[in-house]
Amino acid sequence: MQKIRNIAIIAHVDHGKTTLVDKILHSCSIFRDNETAGELILDNNDLERERGITIVSKNVSVKYKDVKINIIDTPGHADFGGEVERVLKMADGVLLLCDAFEGAMPQTRFVTQKALALGLKPIVVVNKVDKENCRPEEVYEQIFELFFNLEATEEQLDFPVIYGSSKQGWMNTDWKVQTDNIFPLMDAILENIPPAPIQEGTLQMQITSLDYSSFVGRIAIGRVARGTIKENMPVSLVKRDGKIVKSRIKELYTFEGLGKVKVSEVSSGDICAVVGIDGFDIGDTIADFENPEQLEVISIDEPTMNMLFTINNSPFFGKEGKFVTSQRLRERLYKELEKNLALRVVETDLPDAYLVYGRGILHLSVLIETMRREGYEMQVGQPQVIIKTIDGVKCEPIETLIVDVPGEVSGKVIELVTQRKGELLIMEPKGDLQHLEFEIPARGIIGLRNNVLTATAGEAIMAHRFKAYEPWKGTIPGRLNGVLISMDKGMTTAYAIDKLQDRGRFFVDPGVDIYEGQILGEHIRDNDLVINITKGKQLTNMRASGTDDNTRIAPAIKFSLEECMEYIQADEYIEVTPASIRLRKIYLTEQERKVKGKSLVGQ
């Protein structure tokens, strides 16, 4: 029996996966006494830290009682399900983390279903039992019911449960008894997760993720399924389509702590990083040189949404970005396909526009935000759901939407969701909140979050999960209000904004450069209004006392990238540059909008 355990940590977003990994790393003495490691060690890129979510899965390993435990931290958000699906192939068991108050959320169901289908052994960790009005016993019952509904085997249904608080750094089998360490969890991993199996025979290793180093280029990461992989060994790379490419391994690394350690060989069951193989993709198999055998290719769920990406052609083109040409945009999008399995890129009839397919608003917005920080300038159109024809019937993606809100505002939420063709399935109390479950077209969720948060004074907790393709539900009303559009190019003035405040709410501050056709704010009515906010005050040498009013301007509304994506309509673009995010009409002049706009509105 070899002393290796491979576990993946899965949970709904914000239930404490990365914090738990922090505590495991600290308790297994990965760091020197004088080393400050900080918090959320694995969320190591800026976007992950800012948003407090995991976007890319990470591998680390710890030593506990002479056993090497490889830990895979996975994203919790449904939009990054593609990440979870492929890295579960490296694990023999999973830690399913659940919030002691919220219980099993939609994303928990999604990843648990994938893990159970692969036959992985689960350990359930009920986290955050230090929270007020938490309900650990109810959550345990809820998870047992979830496993049963997902057709878990007898062995999987007999799962161990550990209670605790990863933030406070303790775990125990009894939630009422607080300990001072997380060793009960580590012991449960050694007792319940099967050791990584040793399989004799010719080499088989599937590439399930990749890394990049500026010194050696692309690095393949995966688990050795059979045989032994050695340094300088000649191998065959079996592509997804069955094509075989001969290659040679230059260097091998295994994971130790937060880093990698160079080794000469790795036997089956361990996770390793391979340097020296060119032209590989995720899902390819590294196999024996003479008798290559392919492992089953990773299947990833289809995307449900697409967006048009095009070069920036606004009057401010090239002022703020480093990469602005269609060639650069195309290269970057195709490079993203190498590691982002749930993404698709399709060329359009236009030479400088691409349709990018993804899992949802967050999936696409993280790509846009990453490109923006790398210095790219571009424009993106309104997100569109993917429509399919199944047995001659027009079908669209339907999502399960779960909203937890204070009881007194639940009526407003139900009204907002049903306006968008949502159907209320379940309404029940959950602690001091009302728990609502709906089925709603994916189109209806775009732009819903802002309205729900406004109606509930920010107290709603929303989560959704793709359910299935079902027949088209009919038209859904779009944005209720029109927009305020700039008539002129120039700099905004406080005087002009002040005079037009009764026409709507502004998205721009005084002293900002704007151009004709840019969207400056939201109109109070349902039609678009063209305005001029570059007008200054006419100054003369004649002054009458008491006629100079001080300008009082309401603060401008600042949208995040996701809010912009949910806000815009079919005839509008978001202009994204490293320094700013602007909303604009596709056709900048009023004349063009009158001639060409009619065809867009009908879409």
Model confidence pLDDT, tens digit, residues 15-27: 676 778 777 777 7
Query: Taking each helix axis from N to C terminus, what angle separates 17-27 and 183-192, rounded to the nearest 10 degrees?
Result: 100
Would you state the torsion angle of the CA atoms of residues 594, 384, 53, 448, taken in this order, to the nearest 10 degrees?
Answer: 70
Q: What percent of the chain has pLDDT over 90?
A: 11
3-state secondary structure 314-331: CCCCCCCCCECCHHHHHH
pLDDT at 514: 92
CA distances for 551 relative to 349, 498, 501, angstroms: 49, 6, 11
* Domain range list for the chain: 4-192, 204-288, 388-471, 483-539+548-601
pLDDT confidence bin for 81, thresholds 50/70/90 = low
At 477, phi and psi to the nearest 5? -60, 140
* Nearest in space to 72 (alpha carbons), one of 34, 111, 109: 111
Name the more confident of 493 and 338.
493
Taking only the tens place, the pLDDT of each residue in 355-370 is 999 888 888 888 898 8
Question: In a 3-state reduction of DSSP, which class is residue 566?
Answer: helix
- State how far the Cα of 419 lies from the Cα of 451, in Å rounded to an integer: 12
Helices within 209-360 (DSSP H only): 326-339
Burial of 150 (0-12, 13-18, 19+ CB in 10 A): middle
Q: Which CATH superfamily is domain 483-539+548-601 in?
A: bipa protein (2.40.50.250)
The model's pLDDT over 46-65, given as tens digits with 9 standing for 90+, comes to 555 555 565 566 678 888 88
Check if the beta carbon of residue 535 is closer than 8 Å to that of residue 496.
Answer: yes
Of the candidates 320, 322, 452, 305, the one whose C-alpha atom is nearest the C-alpha of residue 380 is 305
Classify domain 4-192 by CATH architecture. 3-Layer(aba) Sandwich (3.40)
pLDDT at 581: 92
Q: Which of the four pLDDT bands, split at 50, 70 and 90, describes residue 38?
A: very low
The least confident of 32-36, 200-204, 445-449, 552-556 is 32-36
Q: What is the structure's pLDDT at 523?
A: 92
Would you state the pLDDT for residue 79? 61
Q: What is the CATH number of domain 388-471?
A: 3.30.70.240
Predicted pLDDT at 584: 93
Give the pLDDT mean for 491-503.
Answer: 88
Strand partners, 251: 275
Q: Is the pLDDT of residue 91 over 60?
A: yes
Distances (CA, A) of 47 to 52, 55, 213: 8, 8, 20
Stretch 414-439: mean pLDDT:
87
Q: pLDDT at position 545, please?
A: 47
Does the structure show a pLDDT above 90 at 259? no
Cβ-based burial of 307 (10 A; exposed 0-12, middle 13-18, buried ≥19)? buried
Of 316 and 478, more confident: 316
* Res. 575: pLDDT tops 90: yes
Q: How confident is the model at residue 376 (pLDDT cuts 50, 70, 90)?
A: very high
Nearest Cα neighbor of 181 from 345, 343, 23, 337 is 23
Q: Which two tokens stand for residue 271?
A: 């996770």
Query: Rounded to 10 degrees, what is the CA torsion of 82, 213, 255, 170?
Result: -60
Is pLDDT above 80 for 247?
A: yes
pLDDT digits (tens, 9 = 90+) for 263-284: 888 888 888 888 888 888 878 8
390 pLDDT tier (thresholds 50, 70, 90): confident
158-169 per-position pLDDT tens digit: 888 888 887 888
Q: Are strands 305-310 and 353-358 parallel, antiparallel or unpaired?
A: antiparallel
Question: Which residues are annotated binding-site positions?
Answer: 14-19, 127-130
Assess whether pLDDT exceeds 90 at residue 310. yes
Residue 89, pLDDT score: 81
Query: What is the average pLDDT across 293-312?
Result: 83
If one compares 86 and 146, the residue with the highest pLDDT of the two is 146
- Burial level of 541, CB count in 10 A (0-12/13-18/19+)? exposed
CB 20 within 8 A of CB 72: no
Tell me what the mean pLDDT of segment 593-602 comes to: 63
- Cβ–Cβ < 8 Å for 182, 171: yes
| Average pLDDT over every residue of 409-431 | 87
Q: How many CA atoms lie within 13 A of 6 on its CB side?
A: 24
C-alpha to C-alpha distance for 448 and 445, rounded to whole angstroms:
5
Q: How far apart are CA 76 and CA 55, in angstroms?
A: 8
pLDDT surpasses 70 at 35: no
Band of pLDDT at residue 574, cut at 50, 70 and 90:
very high
The strand pair at 572-576 and 581-585 is best described as antiparallel
Give the CA dihedral 422, 428, 431, 436, nearest 10 degrees: 0
What are the strands of the beta sheet with 529-531, ordered from one edge? 504-506, 519-523, 483-486, 529-531
**Which of the pair, 338 or 92, is modelled with greater confidence?**
92
Determine contact, residues 9/125, Cβ cutoff 8 Å.
Answer: no
Q: Output the known binding site for GTP.
A: 14-19, 127-130
Closest CA to 467 of 342, 345, 343, 301: 301
Q: What CATH number should be reported for the domain whose range is 204-288?
A: 2.40.30.10
